[in-house]
Chain A
Amino acid sequence: MKQKAAAKRAAATQDNEEEQTAKRVKVPQELQQKANALLNDKTLDTKALKRIISQIQSSDEDAGELNVLEVIFKNLLKRNCVYSAEQLKPNPNAKCEALYNETWTLLLSRLAGADKEQASMALKVCMQLIIAEAKFVHESEWPTARLRDVLGAFVKSETSPAVGLAAFGKYARCLDVLQLSYQLLPEVAPARFVDQPTAAFNYLAIINTLDLGKTVLAAEQYHLGAGSEEQPSFTYERTRKFLNKTWKGIMRSSSGLDEKLHRQVLVVLLERILPHLTNPILLTDFLMDSLHQFDGPIALLALQGIFTLMQQQNITYPDVYTKLYNMFYPRMFYNKYKARLFYLADIFLTSTHLPENLVAAFVKRLSRLALKSPTEDAIIMIRFVCNLLLRHTGLQRLICATPAASAEEVSDPYDETQADPVKTNALSSSLWELALLQKHAVPEVANAAQFVTKSLPTMEFDLGPLLESKESDLFDGEVKKQAKQFMLAYERPTNLALPKDDIVTKYWNIL
């Protein structure tokens, strides 16, 4: 042993120069040599293995070290040195098995850790070991316990969302992992979401990665393999069943949630769960409660859920337009889901059979908001109003009054404070807001509002690209404009103030 250690040390000193080249593998040379020595030995030196593991455990800095563990245990699993094939009483591999389990706990702790690189590396090692284990130990059967451990580690992770989850997305596209995860998730679910908000967030985040959408199903990726004919590792029906079970679990444990968590539940529901639920009508109560008890984003998400139900399950909800109408208020531009709101409103107001006064109320409200909103939202709303006028041709009286009506001056009959859109008396109003918006300082907005005085376009605008635009796009677009000619002021300022109409020095005592 001493000799070996001495040799190793000598090799280490010799290889000092070569360390630079070895760095790109990210695995410390010394450790790799140790591992090689370990694997080259005829008999398994459990003590050496233990040393390696403890070294890695204590070092806690380089993600590359985990690779060493992967190599070692893959080989050992291949050699059947970890698990004993027969149930012998004096288990020769008992020590090794213990070490293997110790390694797993190490990996899982890394997985739940806060270091992103380590977590993703650990996840990779875990998934590779799962493959090895399935291949050499369980005859191509899933070591479900291991996956459960992985999922559990994610849930228990102290950061939220768990850093490793980004890496898990890759594996979540594999259908077998997908099914198994949905199967195992209820087992790792936190009992009450209210008590463990972090765990609940992580749990929901895992579900958010597990996409059962068409593109994933069509891709047909497998982590281990598709399985046999009679026992396929993935069927949509089974997975759907598990998914329903998982959702039931969530519903059970989610009572009295705070806003943020509730929002997350709704997001997960809408994005991942709702299309696959067997009996979505059961959600009605949950969504209605969300809609009525909360304002802002939650109500919006609930409304989207209800919209899906209305579409697919044919439920009726008479007040939906009132709700939608009241979701448009100035603060709305500062929440995260405003694009969703516009999208939803666009869909809700698609029907040409809607009463005109209802749509008129929306038009008026949108144009009022355009006067208060940030620029990019103003553009969206102006375009949207334009689309509505095109869809509901009767509304064009808002911009084309009869000559008799346009002769006399009135104050706006539209009642802004009225919550019920039908009673706002919007139809007898006119779109003066857009006329005012033509004076907007940003040329894009002013141009968008031109249709009021010029002529309506013949085609509706596609709102899609607009909804995706960010607020800085406008700035970038303006800066990138070609064919620049820099018009200068022609009055030479003699000091900070403008030669005439200076406002800054009028209000500031800065000189």
Chain B
Amino acid sequence: MVAKNKKSSADAVYTKKAVQSSNPFDTSKPQTAKRLNPFDVHVNKEKFQILNRICKHDRGRPGVSRAKALQRREQTLGKQYSTKHKTNKFKDQRIGKHLTGDQLNESVMNARYLAEKLSQVRGSHKAEKFNLNDDELLTHRGQTLEEIEQYRDERSDDEELEDEGLDAEFTSAAHFGGEGDKPQDRQTAIEEMISEQKRRKNEIAKEKDEVYDMTERLDANYKQLLPLVAKATKDEMRERPPPDAYDKLLKEMIFEPRGSVTDKLINPEEMAKQEAARLEKLENERLRRMKGDDEPTEAKAQPTHRSADDLDDGYFVAGDDDNADDTLAYDLDGNLGTHLHSKKVAKKDAVDKESGDEDEEDEEEESGDDEGEEEESGSEDEVDNLSDLKESESESEAEAEPAASKAKKAAKQKAVPAMDTSIPFTIKMPKTYEDFTTLMAKYEPQKRSIVVERIIKCNHPKLEGVNREHVVKLYAFLLQYLKDLFEDACEQDIHSHFQLLSQLMPQLYDLTHLNPDRMSNTLLDVIKEKHAEFRKNHKIYPTLDTLIYFKLVSNLYSTSDFRHPVATPTYIFMQHIVSRARVRTRQDIAMGLFIVTIAMEFGTRSKRILPAVFNFLQGIIHLAIPKQQSDKSDIAPPFECEGPFSKLLAVASSEECKQLQPELLEAGDLVTLTITSDFKVRALNSSLLLIKQLMTEHVQEHTGACYLASPFLPLLERLPLKSYPAHITQHYKETKSALELLAAQKMKPLAPPERKPKALRLLEPRFEVVYDDKRRPKLSKQKEERVKLLAKIKREKKGAIREIRLDTAFVQDLKLKQQLQSDKERHEKVKRIYQEASIQQGELNELARAKKKKKF
């Protein structure tokens, strides 16, 4: 206890001491640490410090390097020198040194191993005699024992273990004298034992082999049987009770085929959304074309090739949106491509549901219904086995068609056969225009559009290749037919003609979409022809059919484009007519107004202006002003400043005129020549409304719209309102206020858009080759290389010479050492000889003295 305390206190003292004294040499490295002795270091002085130059030789350790060099030489040159003039060779002195190949058997190896071990034991220290952890790897025929053990068959381990000992009987007999047998002599007993042992071993080995073979065989069989066993057992184990209703139902529900993954059903809202998205995309396209800043380039050209993987989601190129010629598609019946019609049918159905009135257009829809139903019945039958063939589009259409229409169809089915008799379902494409007209003449006007529709369906280009030509021909026929209808139309039949045109419009639209290029060229040719006719005498209005073609263009084409191959020529043509043709009759005025309305249709979206339209409307107002002989007003041709033709629309103030109701312009106006007072009022009314619409909708946002509006004002001032009915006065006021609003428009003076300041041109830094201070002449690359090589050779040569010199010095040193040593040895020998000799002499002398003493 005391001792412990003492120790702890001593510790405390020690620690205290340690804390107190801060030894300044604590941090110093011990003397033995490996570090450079400053006296060993030789520093090569640099005259100038050059940035970025790596200098390898600024400091060196001559002592160390000399020692290294010396050592190296001793190992190389020294060895050579020591074996100089020696002709000895290495000889194999091992056991079995003459044996090769097969002769080198195990016994030889063992003998060698043994000899080696013995020499090791002899040569090594005494301590190693007892080292048991000999970490030497033993090998057997090149393989380590561990490796050999890895490939041992593990299977019979346990059995072998059993055989380790001798069996009990034998041991009892052998070791303990046995039972009854007389003891034989030891020699025979041992031999017996050995033979017994061998026999047993053989038996065991044989048995093992058999067992091994059998297990192998059984293993193989078992693998084959395994699948059978698993099934057979399951089925046979249980005997099923007869399934009751619940089970049946359950099974049914379990095993009922689950529908393959398809697009999910589209409900009406989603469909509407998709449609809206499609329309929006088309609208954006159209707007881009309308702006026309970048003229359409090659990139926009219609792709001729369509990949089989095409998803049909490409942008809208004329007509290939839903009915491109080259898309193959099957409908539910497996017929080629009629899903287009089913789509239309669906559309029509929708229309039908909304309106629900039974006019003559219903017939058309009924026919559509009929076909739609046929298709649907087919689809119901085959819906399961054709499900993978279905076009997604047609599928969605078919499913979108609501079941609600079924009831309606049932009701309509009765009406269908009645109309079937009147028009056949398949109508052949008429060969000539005469055939076509006779075909059309066979049916009453209301049914003609259905006839055309059926011709299109029967001759759809998807059905047959020739039909491509047929539809183009049909389109040409229709254009010609329209021409015939309208060219010489009279007041009585103009209405029915217009109605027929109206009914034909969807068919014309479909036809144009079938082959936009061909159809458009046909129409364009017709317009060209009309223009050529008009050019011959541009003072006369063209025939009514020309205007009908204009309307067709307006309905079928994207007229808002900045530049359009059909719309632009039509625009120019209309401008020519309106600005050139003389206005003399009711027909002229009506046609002019008709063209004005069509031109406005062209420009509704693009808000583009056609000055001739404004001039014409000014002219119409001008015509309505009653003029005296004296006052001459200025109006641009084709209107006349004075004379009877300058006041065609002026009305005499009469009561009859004032009673007129507001009415639209009539189709009859386009074919009648005489101007009646009600026409005067109608024309003026329409003009006022047109002006108002132009001003408020078309040009309002344009800068400079005041220039278009202001010329109207003085003309309107002069209009005698008193002689017109009330609605004119009202429209007059509206129009005038719109015009005044625009005429007072204020505008910002034009200024070019601000340009961004032009950035300075940025210069890339130019890097030159590294400049080092050595002034040497500039050489070519090859020469420079050569100079470098020469310098290297020189340097190497110097180095080599130095090496040789050092080598010689080393060898001389060696020689000297040897000489000295041999001299020393000789000297010692001589000394010893002298010593021996002197000893010998001394002995001799002693003997001699001893003799002398004896003598004396």
Contact = CB atoms under 8 A, between A and B. Distances in A.
A22 interface: no
A85 B396 CA distance: 111
A487 B558 CA distance: 6
A378 B704 CA distance: 16
B364 to A, nearest CB: 10
A219 interface: no
Contacts of A507: 593, 597, 664-665, 686, 689-690
A490 B562 contact: no
B601 A510 contact: no
A443 B463 CA distance: 41
Interface stretch (A8-16, A186-194, A471-479): A471-479
A431 B551 contact: no
A483 interface: yes
Chain B CB within 10 Å, residue with most, of A371, A403, A433, A441: A441
Interface in A467-511: 471-472, 474-475, 478-479, 481, 483-490, 492-498, 501-504, 506-511
Given A368-B707, A411-B706, A440-B610, A430 B528 contact: no
Contacts of B279: 490
Interface stretch (A118-126, A172-180, A204-212, A394-402): A394-402
Nearest to A368: B707
A458 to B, nearest CB: 16
B563 A432 contact: no
Contact of B535 (A368, A406, A472): A472
Contacts, number: 255
A473 to B, nearest CB: 10
B502 A495 contact: yes
Nearest to A488: B318
Contacts of B666: 508-510
Contacts of A495: 502-503, 505-506
Task: State the majority secondary structure of interface residues on A.
Answer: loop
Interface stretch (B10-18, B154-162, B241-249, B493-501): B493-501
Nearest to B590: A508
Given A431-B750, A487-B564, A479 B569 contact: yes
Given A372-B611, A493-B555, A498-B601, A503 B693 contact: yes
B712 interface: no
B661 to A, nearest CB: 12
Contacts of A479: 524, 528, 565, 569
Contacts of A487: 286, 289, 318, 557-558, 561, 564
A355 interface: no
Contacts of B615: 372
A472 B506 CA distance: 33
Interface string A274-294: 000000000000000000000
A375 to B, nearest CB: 6
Contacts of B752: 399-400, 453, 455
A13 to B, nearest CB: 47
A140 to B, nearest CB: 50
Contacts of B637: 331, 334
Interface in B518-558: 519-520, 524, 528, 531, 535, 551, 554-558
B732 interface: no
A452 B748 contact: no
Contacts of B599: 441
A442 B667 CA distance: 29
A372 B707 CA distance: 10
B555 A486 contact: no
Contact of A330 (B296, B519, B636): B636
Nearest to B697: A501
A411 B744 contact: yes
A409 interface: yes
A398 B747 CA distance: 13
The interface centre, meaning the residue of B498, B513, B634, B750 with most chain A CB atoms within 10 A of its CB, is: B750
Contact of B565 (A368, A401, A440, A485): A485
B552 to A, nearest CB: 10
B750 A398 contact: yes
B604 interface: yes
Nearest to B705: A436
B495 A503 contact: no
A510 B498 contact: yes
Interface in A387-430: 398-403, 405-412, 430
A476 to B, nearest CB: 9
Contact of B513 (A372, A411, A488): A488
B553 to A, nearest CB: 10
B607 A484 contact: no
A394 B106 CA distance: 119
Contacts of A374: 575-576, 579-580, 612
Given A490-B279, A507-B689, A484 B565 contact: yes
Contacts of B282: 490
Given A435-B704, A453-B753, A503 B664 contact: no
Given A334-B637, A493-B555, A430 B593 contact: no
A487 B575 CA distance: 22
Contacts of B601: 498, 501-504
Contacts of A496: 498, 501-502, 505, 551, 555
A176 B366 CA distance: 88
A504 B516 contact: no
A493 B551 CA distance: 12
B802 interface: no
Given A372-B611, A493-B555, A501-B605, A403 B751 contact: yes
A439 interface: yes
B528 A440 contact: no
Contacts of A471: 576, 580
B509 A492 contact: yes
A503 B597 contact: yes
B346 interface: no
A306 interface: no
A508 B524 CA distance: 26
B555 A439 contact: no
Given A507-B690, A511-B498, A488 B531 contact: no
A330 B634 CA distance: 9
Interface string B564-595: 11101101110110011000000000000110
A239 B664 CA distance: 70
A198 interface: no
Contact of B704 (A329, A436, A478, A484): A436
Contacts of B705: 436
B663 interface: yes
A405 B752 CA distance: 12
Interface in B413-471: none
B557 A472 contact: no
Contacts of A484: 517, 520, 565
Given A371-B708, A488-B558, A502-B601, 7 more contacts: A330-B634, A436-B705, A472-B535, A484-B520, A486-B318, A488-B513, A490-B282
Interface of B: 279, 282, 286, 289, 292, 296, 300-302, 316-319, 321, 351, 494-495, 498-499, 501-503, 505-506, 509-510, 512-513, 516-517, 519-520, 524, 528, 531, 535, 551, 554-559, 561-566, 568-569, 571-573, 575-576, 579-580, 593-594, 597-612, 614-615, 634, 636-637, 663-667, 686, 689-690, 693, 699, 702-708, 711, 744-753
30 contacts: A372-B611, A372-B615, A372-B711, A405-B751, A409-B748, A431-B750, A433-B707, A439-B702, A443-B563, A443-B568, A475-B569, A481-B565, A484-B517, A486-B519, A487-B286, A489-B555, A490-B558, A495-B502, A495-B506, A496-B505, A496-B555, A501-B604, A503-B604, A504-B594, A504-B597, A507-B686, A508-B666, A508-B667, A510-B498, A511-B499
Interface of A: 329-331, 333-334, 368, 371-375, 378, 398-403, 405-412, 430-433, 435-436, 439-443, 446, 452-453, 455, 471-472, 474-475, 478-479, 481, 483-490, 492-498, 501-504, 506-511
5 A-B pairs with the lowest CB-CB distances in the bound complex, closest first: A436-B704, A401-B749, A432-B704, A409-B746, A406-B751
